[in-house]
Amino acid sequence: MNQLFSPELIPDYMHAHPEYGVKRILTYTVYRFLSFAGKEDDTLAAYIKETLFPMEDALDFSLISDYLALDPYFCPIPEEDSFDAFFLYTAISILENAFDEFALGDELAIIDDLILTKYPVLGSVALDDSDIRLDALIGSGAEFYAVLYLALTRYPSALGSLLPQFGAAYHDSYQFTGDDTALYDFMDEYFETKNCMLQPFFVELSNTLVDATLGYYKTDLETLLATEVTGLLNGTVSRFAVQKRFGALGLTRLPDHDTCLALLSESFRYAALYELRSNLFDYHLEEDRLVTADNWKDTIRFHFVQYQHIYEQALDGFYAAVLSRKLLRAEFSEELKKLGF
């Protein structure tokens, strides 16, 4: 079984997030299908533009940024010089309308038509057949996500029995999760829980580590935004001096204050947990486990986390995130221009 496609992930995620779990998984599945299918057919993006957005002069990037900001799971990295960002926008838009009871039309039907037109054999099989063999149907990334889409939308009652077969048919190049969940998967395993980010003890643990780091430096997130972050983004921080030799750009147009604050907070939380994971890894065997969900307040000491590591990684992560966001927005704009928006 491939660790990047755990059969339990989809039902566990749906159960943990009843308000948006199904929609987010479907959005991600549709995006991945379009991305892979678009690499096989370079006319697909233009077809979708004319079919779904014939009257649009521009598309709002905030739809993408809001989707990505909602949850760390199912966040893809669109490739440059492709139409991936446009395909991500399309998937989000389609699923937003599909779950809107007041929306007109059924845009998901377009995905069904694409699948059945490009891969007609997939429409001729019943996925709830007890003798079905997914490895015989799936030979590419596009086919993997097409079959997963059909299972999610047409055969939800058979999903439980199909997921192990999806795991067996999965290939690393299909990029179902990548490394975006590795940290949380480790924490689930170490603390013997599920969905650690939803567990009160884990939220308190991560907040405690962040507060301790900020306290060590006698600062807070608001102060960092007003002081340290300014030098970080305009290129005056000394450890980034090497970038100037290869071309550097001072970042002065930041996201709004609340977005920056949320991003900085998330960056510190992730850095704190990453630092904790690095130190807990040697103690993850049951007989060596020193920190548990019940005793962490008494057993976590300075030697389990280095505040300097957390602080520097958090600020570097914030810088990288702001820069990546700008690059993604620029890539999205470039794709729209190519499509005639």
Who has greater pLDDT, 57 or 151? 151
Who has greater pLDDT, 77 or 287? 77
148 membership: H or E segment, kind and range: helix 141-154
Q: Are 269 and 237 in contact (CB under 8 A)?
A: no
Query: Which DSSP symbol is given to 256?
Result: P
Q: Are 125 and 137 in contact (CB under 8 A)?
A: yes
Q: How many CB atoms lie within 10 A of CB 301?
A: 9
What are 231-253's pLDDT values in tens digits? 777 766 666 677 778 887 777 77
Please give the Cα distance from 207 to 196 (Å, whole number): 13
Question: What pLDDT is stored for residue 98 in this prediction?
Answer: 81
Question: What pLDDT is stored for residue 157 in this prediction?
Answer: 93
Q: Are 291 and 280 in contact (CB under 8 A)?
A: yes
Answer yes or no: is pLDDT of 1 > 50.
Answer: no
Answer yes or no: is pLDDT of 173 > 90.
Answer: no
Q: Are 32 and 26 in contact (CB under 8 A)?
A: no
Mean pLDDT of the chain: 87
What are 84-123's pLDDT values in tens digits? 999 999 999 999 988 776 555 578 899 999 999 999 999 8
Please report, rounded to a whole number, the percentage of residues in the chain having pLDDT higher than 90. Answer: 56
Question: What pLDDT is stored for residue 2 in this prediction?
Answer: 58
- Averaged pLDDT for residues 131-157: 94
What are 201-215's pLDDT values in tens digits? 999 999 999 999 999
Question: What pLDDT is stored for residue 229 in this prediction?
Answer: 82
What are 27-74's pLDDT values in tens digits? 999 999 999 999 999 999 999 999 999 888 889 999 999 999 998 889
- Averaged pLDDT for residues 11-37: 94
Of 216-220, 282-286, 307-311, the least confident: 282-286
The CA-based angle 256-262-265, given to 5 degrees, is 135
CA 177 remoteness from chain centre: 7
Who has greater pLDDT, 242 or 126? 126
